[in-house]
Amino acid sequence: MSKAARETGYEGRSHVAHYFDTALQQYETHKLGLWIFLVTEILMFGGLFCAYAIYRARHPEIFMYAHTLLDKNLGAINTIVLLFSSFTMAWSVRAAMLGQRKLLVGLLAVTLLCGFGFLGIKAIEYNHKWQHGLLWGERFDYAALQDHGGGHGEELIVDEHAEEVIHHEAEEHGDSHTAEGAEVMAELDHDAEVALAHGHAPEDIPRNLHIFFGIYFVMTGLHGVHVIAGMILIGWLLRRAIRGDFGTRNYTAVDLGGLYWHLVDLVWIFLFPLLYLIH
């Protein structure tokens, strides 16, 4: 197929399989197939969003508290990176359709770089959590949280308005689900500002805080696996694009790869506010 593509330049034609009638039928069939596959991906991540929803609804104090230990800025940067990569990916599909080979190669390369960027930032975040014992299950280091405050760098990046939130929470959850929760919230006063900056008193930390991190790591982890898979796909498309496989009659693979990458972006669009921007 690539030989034909090289011979016909940008007008590379795709081979139509014998059980298809026309190139259009083949293209539409593959596209529908990929959309159904995306449906399965949505259902799979959906299960994780269900776990999230249940724990957040039943134990809001855990989520209110834990998200202060995530870096909102890194999360936002990652969001922008993925959105930009979605833009370049969509553009690359356009470029493939128009036979703009050089542009296509460039755009796919940028998209791939964005993927690396995303993973790099995630690696920084994961590393930070590992350092501070902010992990899942029994690995969660409550002691470290008390001593060091779980901050980024040497001092905790204080989420200033988070204190207001915690105060607000105290009022809202006066009769909260857990007696401890109520106490925790009610005891916070302006001294909490100091506590947040330099470490946490044991009674401030909601019980089972690690549940948040279990969910955080499984959700972002599975998402990360999909990012890697998408990057491998884009790498393969990039190689084929350099070879000149794609053109105005042969762009299906880029189109389908694009759809998959957009799904990865879609999942993050929901993950970001739900994990990083809990209010």
Task: Give the residue with the Cβ less far from other proteins, 152 or 167.
Answer: 167
Least distance (Å) from other proteins to the CB of residue 113? 16
Nearer to other proteins, 77 or 242 (CB): 77
Distance in Å, CB of 147 to other proteins, minimum:
22
Q: Is 186 left (phi over 0), alpha (psi -120 to 50) or beta?
A: alpha
Question: Smallest gap, in angstroms, from Cβ of residue 53 to other proteins?
Answer: 5
Is residue 228 classed as helix, strand or coil in its secondary structure?
Answer: helix
Distances (CA, A) of 67 to 72, 133, 156, 218, 274: 8, 15, 13, 15, 9
Q: How far is the CB of 231 from other proteins (least distance, A)?
A: 18
Q: Can you tell me the distance from the alpha carbon of 211 to that of 65, in angstroms, rounded to the nearest whole number?
A: 12
**Shortest gap between Cβ of 151 and other proteins (angstroms)?**
19
CA distance 279 to 56: 12
Q: Please list, in sequence order, all residues whose beta carbon lies within 8 angstroms of the beta carbon of residue 196, skipping any fewer than 6 positions away.
A: 68, 149, 156, 158, 162, 163
Q: At its nearest, how many Å lie between other proteins and the CB of residue 256?
A: 11
Consecutive H or E run containing 68: none
Q: Which is nearer to other proteins, 7 or 28 (CB)?
A: 28
Residues 260, 254: Cα–Cα separation, whole Å: 10
Bridge partners of 43, per DSSP, are none
Strand partners, 89: none
Task: State which residue, 36 or 194, has the beta carbon closest to other proteins.
Answer: 36
Closer residue to other proteins in complex, CB, 53/124? 53
- In angstroms, rounded to a whole number, what is the distance separating the alpha carbons of residues 98 and 173? 58
Contact 14, 97 (CB under 8 A): no
- Cβ proximity to other proteins: between 5 and 198 the closer is 5
CB of 11 to other proteins, least distance (A): 11
Shorter beta-carbon distance to other proteins: residue 20 or 109: 20
Residue with smaller CB distance to other proteins, 35 or 198:
35
Do residues 149 and 197 touch, judged by C-beta distance below 8 A? yes
Contact between 14 and 26 (Cβ < 8 Å): yes
Please report how close the Cβ of residue 86 comes to other proteins at its closest, in angstroms: 6
User: H or E element: which one contains 202?
Assistant: none
The tokens for 193 are: 């500002």
